[in-house]
């Protein structure tokens, strides 16, 4: 019985890890989030500043680590539309 539980917990951890990688890559592969936040007439300096503030100028592995850390803390970032924390939007809906 103990072996079964250990195996199932291991499978769950592996599944959550794979799911987190899939979600991270789906968000990153849909386009540059910094471009979505800026108006079309924004300059290159503004784009560089937004990318830096969002951590998009860091290596992909570092971005993934920050992604996991933030989600573990319950910090889902800011909404691209309303510029308010996503956790507050979720609380309002619940």
The 8-class DSSP code of residue 78 comes to B
* Residue-level pLDDT at 56: 87
Q: Identify the band that residue 18 occupies on the pLDDT scale cut at 50, 70 and 90.
A: very high
Whether this model's pTM surpasses 0.75: no
Res 74: pLDDT:
82
- For residue 47, the model assigns a pLDDT of 87
pLDDT digits (tens, 9 = 90+) for 32-74: 878 877 888 888 888 888 889 888 889 999 999 999 998 888 8
Q: Which domain holds residue 15?
A: 2-93
Phi-psi region of 88 (alpha: psi -120 to 50; beta: other; left: phi over 0): alpha
In the chain, the number of structural domains is: 1
Establish how many alpha carbons lie within 13 A of residue 31's alpha carbon, considering only the half-sphere containing its beta carbon: 5
79: pLDDT strictly greater than 80: no
List phi, psi (to 5°) of 54.
-90, -5
**pLDDT attached to residue 64:** 93
């Amino acid at each position: 019985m103990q072996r079964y539980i250990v195996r199932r917990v291991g499978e769950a951890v592996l599944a959550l890890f794979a799911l987190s990688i899939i979600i991270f890559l789906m968000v990153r592969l849909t386009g540059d989030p910094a471009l979505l936040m800026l108006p079309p007439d924004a300059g290159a300096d503004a784009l560089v500043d937004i990318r830096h503030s969002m951590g998009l100028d860091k290596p992909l592995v570092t971005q993934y680590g920050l992604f996991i850390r933030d989600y573990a803390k319950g910090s889902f970032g800011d909404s691209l539309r309303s510029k308010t924390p996503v956790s507050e939007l979720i609380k309002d809906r619940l």
